[in-house]
């Protein structure tokens, strides 16, 4: 029987195992999904299979940066509870995953999980994760991988606790500025670097909302358009890194701060544990903001 990508995906969703483990199990079972699950359980992945459906919205973000600050990675590893997020076995696993990701060429989680956790070992990251699930008793997932490679400038990072991580590539400037910009991004969560990077679809959606709000005031059409234009400008200031007021000095925009230092942000990435997963979460951005302003 042909082993299709859809079949591998279904087994992965049902077991929480890695892509290569799922494909191997399906090949050995000649495409029989239930037989593949049973075989995976017998090989020590039983608890992982049972727990794969649970929501894993807690966990850690780990950052690894290469010497010379020209490359770096961030990985998000999820678990179910804050208690396990503090477990040494869990945090050691997350640190090893980040270290391997930095040394690897993997661009996505699926590729990374198929690789060995440590050099010289046969067991994949997915297998090590499944073994940890069996040991700890919670669903554990490697959720996201962000990679920065071959940078022209310098790479700076910031981690707020273990739940928010930032990588920012900067041309010019200095380490103090790099850290300040990374901390600012952690606190304010900008959508992108500059206004020209905001998608047309996003702008059109916001304009539609602003226009509907303005029309409710029964003002003339030309006034409505001015109101919409003003609100769009304010929106772009709020969601773009360059347009935002610098958290340590609200009288100064990030754009002006960078200009004073002769620096330029090439790229940034921000990960917060559990983003997009339906589970009640605290507002960690406010917590970061408070810390940055008191720094």
Q: Which two tokens stand for residue 81?
A: 């509870």
What is the residue extent of each domain of the chain?
A: 5-48, 54-150, 199-239
| Sequence-separated (6 or more) residues with CB below 8 Å from residue 223 | 214
Residue 82: strand, helix, or coil? helix
- The whole-number pLDDT of residue 35 equals 85
- The whole-number pLDDT of residue 228 equals 85
Q: Which two tokens stand for residue 234?
A: 């304010």
Answer yes or no: are the C-beta atoms of 272 and 164 closer than 8 Å: yes
- The whole-number pLDDT of residue 46 equals 44
Full-model pTM: 0.73
Same fold for the pair 5-48 and 199-239: no
Query: Residues 193-214, buried b or exposed e (16+ Cβ, 10 A)?
Result: bebeebeeeeeeebbeebbeeb
- The whole-number pLDDT of residue 74 equals 97
- The whole-number pLDDT of residue 280 equals 47
- The whole-number pLDDT of residue 291 equals 60
- The whole-number pLDDT of residue 112 equals 95
Per-residue pLDDT of the chain (295 residues; tens, 9 = 90+): 788 888 888 887 676 666 777 888 889 999 888 888 777 766 555 445 545 555 667 999 999 999 877 899 999 999 988 899 999 999 999 999 999 999 999 999 999 999 999 877 778 999 999 889 888 888 899 999 999 998 888 999 999 999 999 999 999 999 999 999 999 999 999 999 999 999 888 888 888 888 888 877 777 778 888 888 889 899 999 999 999 999 999 999 999 999 999 999 999 999 999 888 755 444 556 656 666 665 5
Domain covering 5-48 in this structure, CATH number:
1.10.8.10
DSSP E strands, the chain: 58-65, 72-79, 141-148, 154-160, 164-171, 245-246, 249-253, 264-272
CA dihedral 147, 172, 246, 282 (to 10 degrees): 20
CATH class (in words) of the domain with range 199-239: mainly alpha
- Structural fold of domain 54-150: Tetrahydropterin Synthase; Chain A (3.30.479)
């Amino acid at each position: 029987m042909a082993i299709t990508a859809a079949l591998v995906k279904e087994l992965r969703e049902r077991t929480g195992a890695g892509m290569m483990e799922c494909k191997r199990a399906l090949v050995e079972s000649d495409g029989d999904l239930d037989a593949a699950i049973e075989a995976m359980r017998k090989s020590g992945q039983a608890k992982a299979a049972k727990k794969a459906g649970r929501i894993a919205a807690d966990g850690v973000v780990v950052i690894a940066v290469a010497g010379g600050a020209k490359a770096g990675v961030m990985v998000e590893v999820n678990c179910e509870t804050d208690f396990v997020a503090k477990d040494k076995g869990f945090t050691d696993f997350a640190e090893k995953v980040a270290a391997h990701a930095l040394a690897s060429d993997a661009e996505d989680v699926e590729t990374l999980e198929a690789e060995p956790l440590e050099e010289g070992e046969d067991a994949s990251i997915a297998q090590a994760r499944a073994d940890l699930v069996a040991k700890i008793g919670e669903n554990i997932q490697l959720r996201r991988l962000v990679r920065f490679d071959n940078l022209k400038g310098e790479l700076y990072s910031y981690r707020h606790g273990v739940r928010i991580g930032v990588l920012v590539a900067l041309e010019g400037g200095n380490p103090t500025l790099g850290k300040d910009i990374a901390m600012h991004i952690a606190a304010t969560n900008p959508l992108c670097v500059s206004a020209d990077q905001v998608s047309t679809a996003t702008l059109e959606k916001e304009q539609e909302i602003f226009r509907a709000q303005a029309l409710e005031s029964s003002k003339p059409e030309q006034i409505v358009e001015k109101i919409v234009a003003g609100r769009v400008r304010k929106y772009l200031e709020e969601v773009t890194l360059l347009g935002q007021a610098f958290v340590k000095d609200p009288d100064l925009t990030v754009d002006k701060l960078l200009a004073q230092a002769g620096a330029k942000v090439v790229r940034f990435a921000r990960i917060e544990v559990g983003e997009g997963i339906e589970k009640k979460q605290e507002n960690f951005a406010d917590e970061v903001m408070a810390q940055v302003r008191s720094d």
